[in-house]
Amino acid sequence: MNIRIKFRKYGAMKFISHLDVMRYFQKAIRRAKIDICFSEGFSPHMIMSFASPLSLGVTSEAEYMDIRVKNASSSGEMRERLNQTMAEGIDVISVRLLPENSKNAMSLVAAADYQLCFRKDAKLADGWEAKFLEFLKSPEIRLIKKTKKGEQEVDIRPWIYQCVVADGIIMLQAAAGSVHNLKPELLIQAFADWAGITLEPFSLLVHRKELYAEIGDGEKKVLIPLEELGEDFGE
Amino acid sequence: MERKLAVKDEILLSVQQPARYIGGEVHAVMKDKEKVNVRFAMCFPDVYEIGMSHLGIQILYDMFNRREDIWCERVYSPWTDMDRVMRAHQIPLFALESQDPIKEFDFLGITIQYEMCYTNILQVLDLAQIPLLATERTLEHPFVIGGGPCAYNPEPLADYFDLFYIGEGETQYFALMDLYIKWKQKKESRETFLKQAAQIPGIYVPSLYDVTYQEDGTIASMRPNCQEAPERVTKQVVMDVTDTFYPKKPVVPFLKATQDRVVLEIQRGCIRGCRFCQAGMLYRPTRERDLSMLKEYALAMLANTGYEEISLSSLSSSDYSKLGELVTFLIEECGKKGINISLPSLRIDAFSLDVMGKVQDIKKSSLTFAPEAGSQRLRDVINKGLTEEVILDGARQAFVGGWNRVKLYFMLGLPTETEEDMRQIAWLAEKIAERYYDVPKEQRHGKCQIVVSTSFFVPKPFTPFQWARMCTKEEFLHRAYVVNHEIKEQKNKKSIKYNWHEADVTVLEGILARGDRRVGKAILKAYEKGCLFDSWSECFQHQLWLEAFEECGLDLAFYTTRERKEDEIFPWDFIEIGVSKKFLLREWKRAQKGEVTPNCKSACAGCGAAVFKGGVCIEHQN
Ligand code: SF4
């Protein structure tokens, strides 16, 4: 059985790195006595993969992890067992059964929703929202992106799918995953450079709200949340 | 309600591994501070990942928190980056669970596991905004209590601690807490509490003792300065190690700690009696935990933590009488759950090779031998009962079984050591390599790899070598040079790799290990100059330490290279560990004659630890 688990990461847990969250779940799965499958070989490891790593300091209400299990009675029961052994700052929201042969979450991620705001003491000049909207109207947003192959100039404008600002909060939907990935921090830095604003380090608060897969036919983009590719089971 | 953090997000994001400072781990204990009588901050004065790996703290943390009226929390040394920010922003050091400042606590307990953490102790006090000197503390401040192996010579730290706990924490801590609760209600002076505490067995209150010195700098006398303090302080031991405290739900860190596994302590003490080994003398008599308890705890701890590995812990696991049964049980239980078993400190023989073949990947693992000295003569001097025959035979069996990596541990600078002894280290490595190439080619796995590591010998209190002279830095390095040179001369030199330890830090360890009260000033001076995390080679600042000793007018040779007279009064003599000074002296003399003393299982050597009414010698009599 392939299972997709959706969880929230908040509070002090935002200081736990992606690598440590993976290690955390390996232990949590043992504590919850989930009947997980292991790889073959002398030192077998759990069959488990994460959709998209979250940077340190970022909170989220839509983290995804796929696991393969030998047995599980129901979504509700598995969620309950996991939640009983969670540390404060991680809650399991849903447990869904995936269809046979479905692709793993990591390869599916195409877009993400973010909620962005500035720390109270970041002291941005009034009217930054209007400036930000103006910035978004640019036909191109070119910047230097560091990649594995070195530095590269890219236009990130096409990666912004939706973006609105209200009450000091930016809601952003942007490309995510292995093809194109727009980190919100990068966009805000580009804005700050454009507007001549100096941002204190770590003044942006990022909260991830959803991760999507693309299920369109190539002409029109159709995004659905990763959890909707699976179904509750056994209830 | 979400737990608040003591440090702002921006700061946490600007330091390495912010998870070191947030607490909230699985099985961390939260209580309502209004509903407890005692708040106890338990500290390991090193970085989180090291401190979290320490079993002793986990045991005491669990023990204290079983009591509803006590809340025990944890604190570690902030790493240098966090240290800087905390000083700059005046953030008082806080406990991980509540994130409250340590200075508001009733007790700060510090476990002192190695000498090179002494400046970190001062850092912890300093960041906590607690006066470094015990004499300057008031009713506003916590009592600072030290424990652990270095508390067996607490004198260099005497100025900085209110009390020391000598021995195993499971026995007297509750008595101390009860006394404290009564004292707090009566609102009496700090001194009153300390005087009462001094009457609890195992509690040492340094301010209640005066030391005088002879002209040559050695101690003339050490006496209590009030009638409440006992002449001698007796170490505390748990005689029943089965029906006692042991955590079934140890705290599981988010970060990968050095000890990233369930640790099952199978016994305390060691029967071997190696003459350099402090642990072997301090933790006598030997006490085994019951097999059924160990089985039960192993399963419970694995289930509660979710660790994927379990490790057996003891000074010499091969001496545990039911080791075979325990290991068979673990292999069966863990095998089906994909849990690894690690078995450190096993003697290499047919049994252990068989077990190791079952629990680890032979191709990736290596064999470990600790002959400690290169020649049989010197091994007799140190009473290490490992013979060349046993080593070579163990290695041969292992090579046939598929291993091709061997690690060898030795000490340089042992008493009576000659150049011949040093060279024999290389020869032994060579003989092992030859054993490997004796195995028919079809049965071997490529080249063999022998790693020889040497550390430099530091004479420790409460060992037969406490009288011994320690080498200078130059003498140490010369020894390493001799070994290195000799290894280069061997036929199979390409299969032998040699590592040696740093000498500067060893000399300092030697000063602190056998230091007296006067050494304390230099520790403070070194700290003030910026010494911190001295056990981390990237942080160790030897020059500053030298300046500190110089400015305090201390003669390093007095503490290191001086051979002590038989009747010298040592700073730690007032502590009663069971093993008598008479026995240690006898062993020191036998060592010089190269006479071995059989292990406690073969014959009782009358070491004195039987006063605790336990151990193999007493079991044999019954
Ligand atoms: S075997 Fe020797 S070195 Fe090891 S713990 Fe026992 S006495 Fe110490």
DSSP string, B382-401: TT----HHHHHHHHHHHHHT
Q: How far apart are CA B597 and CA B159, in angstroms?
A: 39
Nearest CA to ligand 1 atom 2: B274
Chain A CB contacts of B10 below 8 Å: 119, 200-203
State whether A50 and A143 are in the same domain. Answer: no
Minimum CA–CA partner of B10 in chain A: A202
Tokens of B574: 């007032």
Pocket of ligand 1 (CB under 6 A): B 270, 272-274, 277, 279-280, 315-316
Q: Which of A17, A28, A44 sits opposite B306 (nearest CB)?
A: A28
pLDDT of residue A28: 98
B444/B417: higher pLDDT:
B417
> In this model, does residue B622 exceed pLDDT 70?
no
Give the residue from A88, A203, A204, A205 with the most B CB atoms within 10 Å of its CB, the best one to mutate: A88
Please indicate if any CB of chain B lies within 8 Å of the CB of A17.
yes
Q: What are phi and psi of B419, to 5 degrees?
A: -60, -35
Report CA(A48)–ligand 1 centroid distance (Å): 43
State whether A171 and A84 are in the same domain. Answer: no
**Touching A: B residues 407-426, CB under 8 Å:** none
pLDDT of residue B355: 84
Which of A34, A8, A16, A51 lies closest to A208, judged by CA? Answer: A8
Indicate the residue among A51, A72, A107 that finishes a domain. Answer: A107
Q: How far apart are CA A160 and CA B312, in angstroms?
A: 54
With an 8 Å Cβ cutoff, are B306 and A42 in contact?
no
Domain that holds residue A45: 2-107
**Touching B: A residues 164-223, CB under 8 Å:** 200-203
- The CATH number given to whatever domain includes residue A14 is 3.30.70.580
pLDDT of residue B319: 92
In a domain, A232, yes or no: no
Please indicate if any CB of chain B lies within 8 Å of the CB of A56.
yes
A170-201 pLDDT, tens digit per residue, is 999 999 998 899 999 999 999 999 999 988 88
Tokens of B579: 């093993």
State whether A100 and A112 are in the same domain. Answer: no
pLDDT of residue B619: 81
Ranges B67-76, B347-356, B410-419, B579-588: which has the least confidence: B347-356
Kindly give, in sequence order, each residue whose CB lies less than 8 Å from that of residue A180, ignoring residues fewer than 6 positions away.
A159
pLDDT mean over B106-110:
98
Q: Is the dihedral of CA B399, B401, B405, B408 positive or negative?
A: negative
In a domain, A233, yes or no: no
The confidence band for B344, taking pLDDT boundaries of 50, 70 and 90, is confident
Indicate the residue among A107, A133, A155 that finishes a domain. Answer: A107
With an 8 Å Cβ cutoff, are A89 and B256 in contact?
no
A113-137 pLDDT, tens digit per residue, is 999 999 988 878 888 999 999 999 9
Q: How far apart are CA B553 and CA B157, in angstroms?
A: 18
State whether A98 and A130 are in the same domain. Answer: no
Minimum CA–CA partner of B260 in chain A: A23
pTM of the model: 0.95
B298-312 pLDDT, tens digit per residue, is 999 999 999 999 999
Q: Which of B22, B255, B306 sits opposite A31 (nearest CB)?
A: B306
State whether A166 and A96 are in the same domain. Answer: no
Please indicate if any CB of chain B lies within 8 Å of the CB of A55.
no
Q: What are phi and psi of B473, to 5 degrees?
A: -55, -45
pLDDT of residue A44: 81
State whether A156 and A199 are in the same domain. Answer: yes
Q: Which of B304, B308, B340 sits opposite A26 (nearest CB)?
A: B308
Ranges A6-10, B417-421, B602-606: which has the least confidence: B602-606
Tell how strand B575-576 and strand A160-166 pair up.
unpaired
pLDDT mean over B213-230:
97
B513-544 pLDDT, tens digit per residue, is 999 999 999 999 999 999 999 999 999 999 99
Minimum CA–CA partner of B358 in chain A: A42
Domains held by chain A: number = 2
Ranges B256-270, B286-300, B395-409, B448-462: which has the least confidence: B395-409
Q: Where are the domains of chain B?
A: 9-234
State whether A103 and A127 are in the same domain. Answer: no
The confidence band for B1, taking pLDDT boundaries of 50, 70 and 90, is low
Which of B584, B577, B607, B573 lies closest to B234, judged by CA? Answer: B577
State whether A61 and A150 are in the same domain. Answer: no
Minimum-distance ligand 1 atom for the alpha carbon of B384:
2
Which of B132, B134, B114 lies closest to B123, judged by CA? Answer: B132
Indicate the residue among A107, A123, A141 that finishes a domain. Answer: A107
Q: How far apart are CA B87 and CA B473, in angstroms?
A: 35
State whether A103 and A186 are in the same domain. Answer: no
Report CA(B427)–ligand 1 centroid distance (Å): 24
- Taking only Cα atoms into account, the Rg of chain B, rounded to an integer number of angstroms, comes to 25
With an 8 Å Cβ cutoff, are A27 and B308 in contact?
yes
B375-388 pLDDT, tens digit per residue, is 999 999 999 988 89
Please indicate if any CB of chain A lies within 8 Å of the CB of B340.
yes
State whether A65 and A114 are in the same domain. Answer: no
> In this model, does residue B343 exceed pLDDT 80?
yes
Tokens of A59: 């909170």
In a domain, A235, yes or no: no
> In this model, does residue B362 exceed pLDDT 90?
no
Q: What are phi and psi of A226, to 5 degrees?
A: -55, -35
pLDDT of residue A69: 96
In the numeric block, the tokens 């390095």 are attached to B477
CB pairs under 8 A between A and B: 79
Chain B CB contacts of A24 below 8 Å: 254
A24-79 pLDDT, tens digit per residue, is 999 999 999 999 999 987 778 899 999 999 999 999 999 999 999 999 999 999 99
| Interface ipTM | 0.93
State whether A161 and A78 are in the same domain. Answer: no
Q: What are phi and psi of A31, to 5 degrees?
A: -60, -40
With an 8 Å Cβ cutoff, are B10 and A119 in contact?
yes
Chain A CB contacts of B252 below 8 Å: 27
Q: How far apart are CA A227 and CA A62, in angstroms?
A: 9
In a domain, A230, yes or no: no
Please indicate if any CB of chain B lies within 8 Å of the CB of A69.
no
State whether A10 and A98 are in the same domain. Answer: yes
Report CA(B269)–ligand 1 centroid distance (Å): 9
Q: Per-residue b/e over A107-141, b at no fewer than 16 CB within 10 Å?
A: ebbbbbbbbbbbbeeeebeeebeebbeebbeeeeb
**Amino acid identity, position B495:** S
